[in-house]
Structure 1
Amino acid sequence: MNAPAFPGLASVLDDVGMPEALARDLLDAGRAFHARGLLAATPSFRRYDSDELGACRGSGAFPAFSITGGACALNCKHCRAGILKPMIPTGDPAAFERKAREMIASRGMRGFLLSGGSNPRNEVPFEPYLPVVARLKRDHPGLEVLVHTGLVTARRAAALKGAGVDVAMLDIIGSARTIREVYHLDRPVADFEASLVALAAEGLAVVPHIVVGLHFGRLLGEHEALDIIARTQTESAILVVLMPAYADPGFGRVDPLEAASFLAAARARLPDRRLLLGCARPHGPDRALIDVAAVLAGLDGVAYPADEAVRAARALGRPVDRQGACCGAASCARAA
Structure 2
Amino acid sequence: MISEPDPSWGIEAFDAAPLDARLVGELLAQATPSPVRFHVPSFKAYRSSEIASCGMGRWPAVSITGPDCALACDHCKAKILAPMIPAPTPDALWRVVNEEIARGAHGMLLTGGSNRRNEVEYDPYLPVLRRIKDSFPRFGIALHTALTDETRARALAEAGIDVAMMDVIGAQDTLTQVYHLKRPVADFEASLAALVASGLRVVPHIVLGLHYGRLLGEWQALEMVARHRPHALVLVVAMPFYAPPTRPFATPNPEAVGRFFLDARRALPGLPILLGCARPPGRARLKIDAYAVLAGLNAVAHPAEGVVELAHRLGREVHVMPGCCALAGEVALGAEILGAAEAPPGRPPAFPVPVVTHG
Give the structure-2-normalised TM-score. 0.88
For residues 331 and 279 of structure 1, what CA distance do their matches in structure 2 show?
18
Query: Aligned to 2:98, what secondary structure does the other structure show?
Result: helix
Shift of 1:324: 0.9
Q: Which residue of 1 aligns with 2:214?
A: 218
Question: Number of aligned pairs?
Answer: 327
Q: 2:240 aligns with which of 241, 244, 257?
A: 244
Alignment of 1:306-321 (within 5 A): 306-321=304-319
Query: Aligned to 1:321, what secondary structure does the other structure show?
Result: strand
- Cα gap change, 1:286 to 1:143, in 2 (>3 Å): same
For residues 288 and 192 of structure 1, what CA distance do their matches in structure 2 show?
31
Q: 2:82 aligns with which of 64, 81, 85?
A: 85
Q: 1:254 aligns with which of 252, 255, 265?
A: 252
- Is contact 1:47-1:57 (8 Å) kept? no
Structure 1 segments, 4+ long, off by >3 Å, are: 1-7, 331-334
| Match status 1:27 vs 2:25 | no
For residues 248 and 26 of structure 1, what CA distance do their matches in structure 2 show?
35
Query: Aligned to 1:191, what secondary structure does the other structure show?
Result: helix
Shift of 1:16: 2.4
| Match status 1:129 vs 2:125 | yes
Query: Aligned to 2:306, what secondary structure does the other structure show?
Result: helix
| Match status 1:114 vs 2:114 | no
| Match status 1:95 vs 2:97 | no
Shift of 1:29: 3.0
Alignment of 1:1-336 (within 5 A): 3-4=6-7, 6-7=9-10, 9-12=11-14, 14-30=15-31, 33-34=32-33, 36-56=34-54, 58=56, 60-104=57-101, 106-249=102-245, 250-330=248-328
- Is contact 2:251-2:280 (8 Å) kept? no
- Cα gap change, 1:234 to 1:333, in 2 (>3 Å): farther
Amino acid at match of 1:11: A
Shift of 1:91: 2.7
Q: Deviation string for 1:124-170 (max 9, x for gaps)?
A: 11121121111111011111111100000111101100100110000
For residues 303 and 126 of structure 2, what CA distance do their matches in structure 1 show?
32
Query: Aligned to 2:273, what secondary structure does the other structure show?
Result: strand
- Is contact 1:48-1:57 (8 Å) kept? no
Query: Aligned to 2:71, what secondary structure does the other structure show?
Result: coil
Query: Aligned to 1:206, what secondary structure does the other structure show?
Result: coil
- Cα gap change, 1:95 to 1:199, in 2 (>3 Å): same
Shift of 1:11: 2.7
Unaligned runs of 5+ in 2: 333-359
Amino acid at match of 1:87: M
- Is contact 1:6-1:315 (8 Å) kept? no
Query: Aligned to 1:23, what secondary structure does the other structure show?
Result: helix
Shift of 1:211: 0.4
| Higher fraction of strand | 1
Give the structure-1-normalised TM-score. 0.93
Unaligned runs of 5+ in 1: none
- Is contact 2:147-2:187 (8 Å) kept? yes
- Is contact 1:267-1:297 (8 Å) kept? yes
RMSD: 1.7
Shift of 1:265: 1.1
Q: Deviation string for 1:256-288 (max 9, x for gaps)?
A: 111111111111111121000000010011000
Shift of 1:3: 4.6
- Cα gap change, 1:20 to 1:331, in 2 (>3 Å): farther
Shift of 1:4: 4.3
- Is contact 2:138-2:331 (8 Å) kept? no
- Is contact 2:5-2:13 (8 Å) kept? no
For residues 233 and 131 of structure 1, what CA distance do their matches in structure 2 show?
29
Higher deviation after alignment, 321-330 or 222-231? 321-330
Q: Deviation string for 1:79-133 (max 9, x for gaps)?
A: 11111122111131102101211221x2121111111110000001112112111
